[in-house]
Structure 1
């Protein structure tokens, strides 16, 4: 084989490096919209990192109301101005949450695509380059909300009521160089010399202050000595200015006044209120209802690409690239104090959180896995109302959701679970006119701690502003969520299976089944009460379990299975003559109709079925079927115990609680215990319910 000349190899290497560098430049230019590769190549060709920040932008916002009887009209709450680029779109959330008897208010916006922006700028700016044309089209890159209680306290802002965030933005964005420094010092010196300095920058040196006062008195009383007085005053001014410069070296040039004292830490800042020209230069424009927007080029990386509204001072937005603006709420719409409307914004493209923030399900190296069951949070829009708090002395001033969150987060930090399972009624529909707000509050603690979580639905979750499918879809879309809507041909929403791999293999060590127990009986005259698991669900469950037999058998230790859902099985009532550990404070509200789900669960090898729904029950029942026969079988039927202060409770002094399961795949063991709100540091009712892969007696 004849080798290539070194010169050819060297030139080929240079060409290859140049090609890589050129490709990178082209991709980077695409990200910055200098060129648009999507105009020439398929979208899939360009890596996502080098795609532009967004493909559509907001160009206007408005809040408008209409008569409540007309709320279903597409024009209700939408501005009549149809001129210009784009059309108005209404965010389908009544900002009053239905409080007003007569009016509804909606946030509307204009949003345009990147393609439309380019067409518009090319048409209006044919003499400019495409780059300059795009930059000349302004889109919303920031939003500020006024807070009258805070903004009017800023001196000079009593009438303007400019949001503090804007005032701060103008201060931090202004460059303070040597020229600006010199001008500021000169202004202060001249103001002092003319007796016009309102906030003198003097230290605690009383001697200097007295000298200045004496000089000023001498100047007015002795006209014949004016020249001498001026000289003395100038000397004192220079002394003060010299001290001012030492402080002003470390601050920006937008300060209106600064009190110079011996300690810099004692200095107070007063901000200069911007005028209309300064606001316009920075891009800020006042809208209505306390909303301000800042305009900038569509190429700005901070361009806003998503807008949402959440309600209540305790609201949170757990989505990673969203920012909830809590400095102020939308004003003048008549909302309840604890349900005020707050704007949340997204910058950059919409993300697939399940791909970017996946939950990892794997048994720990020690062979153990901890599951925290969270039942019946009953979160609201707003802080929520405490129902039956225990002890009763804590009822005064009780706020349901913040109190529940304190308990939940305390237990999360104590237990550090590998997985959280929410078994329904995360939100209390009647108290959650904006379901999204309540769902975000319920799931935020797990997302914040990067804990994978699974969700099942209860009978109250879809009684707010979202349907059952929408509640599950939203819950499933968030970071670290393991939830799924499940197959469409199976009854209910949220029938799915999760497998937890072994510590050193991809074979399932633990299989978890999640089922939708629906809501109320479809035939209340014949079977009053609650709905039941349907035949299509049981058939699907059996098929899923059988299809996993081979992979489960490949696990070298003992494989275990559990199931979670909301409404208890009829067999949860079998407390007479059968052993159980825990509280039985209220009659189990299981469905009247029995489809044989308990028998199927046991036959498929599921050892534990844990539910919620009955807030004041938290027992684990050892249910034995066909006792003392060759067909005898056992299964543990457990309750998680109600955890939310927003749901009923208090039966017999019942205190809210949470249940933990710990799985040890080395020994085939499942143990469980609980924690109470009043004593979260202590565990109680600790018991082993499965050992060696088999259900055990007490």
Structure 2
């Protein structure tokens, strides 16, 4: 009987090993396009912010309405499979329309929503599709995208009617080879322009009387040109862009550009015969003094190049399938939006037109070209390591409270700065100043990166929050607060999105553990891979799940405490191999009940009530037994103290720990407690003497650090 369970265990062991190897092989095969996982797992089952793999090419786009009464239908606002380029696709295995699950109106429409969809086709299926009816030859997939900005594009001379995007004009202009005939044409356009003709290059040897005649001539020509332009403007009809995404007609110029700006030289010949040929030649404009005039391509040139107008200001360029084709499209909102993913390009030249977004929350496209990048590769992920001088610096960023759009400042200091104050740009400006001053080795964000009620598109807010660190290539870790998931994404999606970005060391954590974002990181010693530090990150959750019994905020659960105990046990051997004193810290959002024990020494400000959970699961005691010397949280914006907490005082089990606040940094979150100025906290670890030191920097004087204190030395909490 005893042999049977062992045999089962062996079989389970072999099966587990086989599954692990199989998963690795499948992942590698999918990465190399040997197989296609999406052929077996429907795209609809993956989170909305993940894009199709790079062997799926985009061939068309559409924007459609979804009326409120039908909004429960997942296909509401999605074109039919037969619509768009290549017409009917027989099955979703070959290709399908993929809806970006973001209402372009951000919920502001009473009766309908608007959704952006793109049609994706498997690369292996392109050879099976009948392309004989395609007029574009091998121009099968989207290789670039441009967005119109009508108010700006129409200011370009000759582009008033067609409003071709500047992005496209730049391409044609840079590839155009200009000759003498083009120079003459530009001169004629310059003569007819509305600008003051101060750039006329008159011959230096002409008499003053001749100069006056020539200037009078130019003024006459200018007046005639203005009259001609005014008459022509009355005849122009506004070009209405086709709204059907299947209509690939390019908005046309009513006339060729040369004709539109053509000037009749005979009409401009002076009546008097007193002027010599030399004087006529003097009316010339230097090619060096000409104002820049864009080359406006004809509709034939536009079509030949592969560019096609679709709808809502979107232009698609078609070309052959390649590694540089567009393979992903995302939508972000707001003029201050950013896309931190290095292989994505956020198109800020123009926003989607004819959609019901507010001015400060306009919809912008972001596109990915080529393969998806694995941000877990060493290029974007490197182990945390103490510097050669034995130091390691951590910047804590608490309560950014970012919005979709610039956000509104709440309780700014001074109060006179409230008018016109944009919360997120102001917060980023302060944060980046501190980053440039401190140059931290690591950044910890302790929750409420997003102010959910002002973030109808949470992805936009997450990207803004993390971009300052990504662009500086600073590794960072994220924990969740109570407001993060009150926007458009769930807690699991917020944590997954934050974890799957360059330089993020965050993790969703084990599924068997309560919450999202329970994980442990180690900081390697300068000369070895042994852990000099352990950093514990926990999900402090949100509001109490049983408010009648325990009102207020939720608490750290038993499964989380068991998780950190198991993680510590796994590290014990490596910790023992470290030749110096090992240090440990913990970070999360909501303070523990012990933060209320203010009858103990503390340094910093206590300006507001401590909103800790009422139920105490003993997290402070468990972390203390694991050797954690410092815990730092956020949540209470206007508290920024470090409290020396002592348990089992004057006994053999005495345990000391510093309980710190990071201090609120975001202008989008509340302040208002006695003129509280936003601030950030810094921790500097010196492994040479097992020291943890801390200080803060405030928005009004970021160059000056204050409240400097040594929290730990020789691995022991310092008495105050």
1:116 corresponding residue in structure 2: 125
1:279 deviates by 1.2
Q: 1:196 to 1:678 in 2, by over 3 A?
A: closer
1:279 corresponding residue in structure 2: 302
2:161 corresponding residue in structure 1: 159
Deviations 1:64-108 (A, max 9, x none): 223223223244222355334544221111001001112211111
Q: For residues 454-465 of structure 1, what are the structure 2 equivalents within 5 Å? A: 454-465=477-488
Deviations 1:177-225 (A, max 9, x none): xxx5144357679x79xx9999998424473866876999997657xx8
2:704 corresponding residue in structure 1: 682
SS in 2 for 1:271: coil
1:31 corresponding residue in structure 2: none
Q: 1:287 to 1:218 in 2, by over 3 A?
A: closer
1:353 is aligned to 2:375:
yes
1:171 corresponding residue in structure 2: 173
| Preserved CA contact (<8 Å) 1:616 1:649 | yes
1:535 corresponding residue in structure 2: 558
Deviations 1:20-68 (A, max 9, x none): xxxxxxxxxxxxxxxxx989x7799xxxxxxxx9412111112122322
SS in 1 for 2:317: strand
SS in 2 for 1:652: coil
Greater Cα offset, 468-477 or 141-150: 141-150
2:450 corresponding residue in structure 1: 427
2:228 corresponding residue in structure 1: none
Distance 1:353 1:220 in 2: 70
1:267 deviates by 3.8
Q: 1:218 to 1:624 in 2, by over 3 A?
A: closer
1:24 corresponding residue in structure 2: none
1:673 deviates by 0.4
| Preserved CA contact (<8 Å) 1:118 1:134 | no
SS in 1 for 2:376: helix
Distance 1:696 1:196 in 2: 79
1:277 deviates by 1.1
1:343 is aligned to 2:365:
yes
1:103 corresponding residue in structure 2: 112
| Preserved CA contact (<8 Å) 2:451 2:668 | yes
Greater Cα offset, 371-380 or 536-545: 536-545
Q: For residues 20-31 of structure 1, what are the structure 2 equivalents within 5 Å? A: none
| Preserved CA contact (<8 Å) 1:418 1:451 | yes
Q: 1:186 to 1:100 in 2, by over 3 A?
A: closer
Q: For residues 255-404 of structure 1, what are the structure 2 equivalents within 5 Å? A: 259-260=285-286, 264=288, 267-299=290-322, 301-355=323-377, 356-404=379-427
1:330 deviates by 0.6
Distance 1:160 1:277 in 2: 13
1:147 is aligned to 2:145:
no
Q: For residues 417-456 of structure 1, what are the structure 2 equivalents within 5 Å? A: 417-456=440-479
1:137 deviates by 4.1
1:628 deviates by 2.3
Deviations 1:561-596 (A, max 9, x none): 0000111100011002x0000010111111101111
1:359 deviates by 3.4
2:638 corresponding residue in structure 1: 616
Distance 2:699 2:568 in 1: 37
Distance 2:140 2:569 in 1: 59
Distance 1:100 1:185 in 2: 51
1:467 deviates by 0.9
Distance 2:381 2:55 in 1: 25
Deviations 1:597-655 (A, max 9, x none): 11111111110111111111010000011222332221111110111011111211111
Distance 1:108 1:143 in 2: 14
1:588 corresponding residue in structure 2: 610
Greater Cα offset, 567-576 or 153-162: 153-162
Distance 2:524 2:73 in 1: 52
1:61 is aligned to 2:70:
no
SS in 2 for 1:627: coil
Structure 1: state its 5+ residue gaps: 1-36, 45-52, 126-131, 242-258
Superposed CA RMSD: 2.9
Distance 1:218 1:476 in 2: 69
| Preserved CA contact (<8 Å) 2:202 2:283 | no
2:505 corresponding residue in structure 1: 482
SS in 1 for 2:318: strand
1:508 is aligned to 2:510:
no
1:48 corresponding residue in structure 2: none
| Preserved CA contact (<8 Å) 1:139 1:295 | yes
Deviations 1:433-471 (A, max 9, x none): 101000000000000100000010111111111111111
SS in 2 for 1:116: helix
Q: For residues 177-188 of structure 1, what are the structure 2 equivalents within 5 Å? A: 181-184=179-182
Task: Kindly tell me the number of residue pairs found equivalent between the two proteins.
Answer: 610
Distance 2:280 2:385 in 1: 72
SS in 1 for 2:681: strand
Distance 2:68 2:374 in 1: 36
Distance 1:145 1:320 in 2: 20
Deviations 1:332-365 (A, max 9, x none): 1121111000000011111111214113310000
Distance 1:660 1:481 in 2: 19
Distance 2:406 2:557 in 1: 36
Distance 2:616 2:268 in 1: 102
SS in 1 for 2:498: helix
Distance 1:525 1:117 in 2: 59
SS in 2 for 1:680: strand
| Preserved CA contact (<8 Å) 2:307 2:315 | yes
